[in-house]
Structure 1
Amino acid sequence: MQDETMVVLAEYNTSTEAEITKSMLDSAGIWSTIRNEYMSSIYPVGTMPAQVVVRADEVEKARKILKKTK
């Protein structure tokens, strides 16, 4: 992947919640990754949340997918 701007789509208190979101995005063909995945498990809730990030050009599409699941 080239140097692209990444945007934080959502933050979660647990890496499990972030993994669920990443899985939904993957199923829709949207590339994503999780920042702070392991650190969010080590530190107390809210200190260092797991962040799901996507490419800037896919943010709106990703938000629509997450909105459908709420």
Structure 2
Amino acid sequence: MIIQWRKSSYSGTANDDVCVELGRLAPGDGVGVRDSKNPDGGHLTLTSTQFTDLLSQLKQHPER
């Protein structure tokens, strides 16, 4: 399966030093998260529940 990576809509400015891409992995395998500046450096694999929890935490604490 080829992973279709999607870059954050907040990426693309001149000062992008923290950019991530997300990719839907094979059905049941969750979501991949990788550094958009180092796409060959591997990715973090999160279950769908872990990814939802991560988004919830980021929304509650945007300054982190």
Q: If the TM-score is normalised by the length of the shorter chain, which range does it land in? A: 0.3 to 0.5
Rg larger in 1 or in 2? 2
Structure with the higher fraction of residues in helix conformation: 1
TM-score normalised by length of structure 1:
0.31
Q: Which structure exhibits the higher relative contact order, with contacts defined as CA atoms closer than 8 Å and separated by 6 or more residues?
A: 1
